[in-house]
Amino acid sequence: MARPSSPSLHSAENSEGDSNIVHLVDKLDSLAKFYQKQLDWVDRTARVAVRVAETDSDCDLSEPDKENITKSPTAAAVRRMRWRKQMRSLETKLNGKTTKRRRNSVDVRSRRTADEEMRSHHILQMFGEMMGTRMESCRRVQKLVASKKARTSLVLRPDEARGWFGQYLAPGASLC
């Protein structure tokens, strides 16, 4: 049984299809924005990690100078040491590590922190690459949907074609 070729029926189908396409494009756009925010977060986190590493290396260079100047720490130095110890303790708790550690040499400890920083940086870099790839994928799908929408608006459906060319066809004949 042939479907009636009423303009109101086709416009209802087109508006439903257009609303689905618009909804899809909106979802893809919001996903791309989310991935962009994640990339921005990765960049900010990497910059902060570099700054922290620079300040830690500056502190490590100044510690031997303190030992040469005075043997007994001043009140301000004690406060700084306590503050630094508290910050390191908080950092280890946030990273999920235990606070009790064995006494290690400075070289081993600095090597471990350097290895941990390298691993963290590598994971952060992989996460950034993944977010970038996902964002690019969303953009590509958006372009595909837009081109599909443009193509479908130019192509006539068989029912619509029958309305245009039906007068030239024999009764019961089809275009396809």
pLDDT (0 to 100) of residue 49? 79
- List pLDDT tens digits, range 123-141: 888 999 999 999 999 999 9
Tokens of 96: 């999920």
- 28 and 138 Cβ atoms separated by less than 8 Å: yes
d(CA 21, CA 9): 18
pTM: predicted TM-score of the whole model, two decimal places: 0.47
Per-run averaged pLDDT (10 residues), the chain, 176 residues? 46 64 88 92 86 71 51 69 78 70 60 75 90 92 86 62 50 53
pLDDT (0 to 100) of residue 157? 55
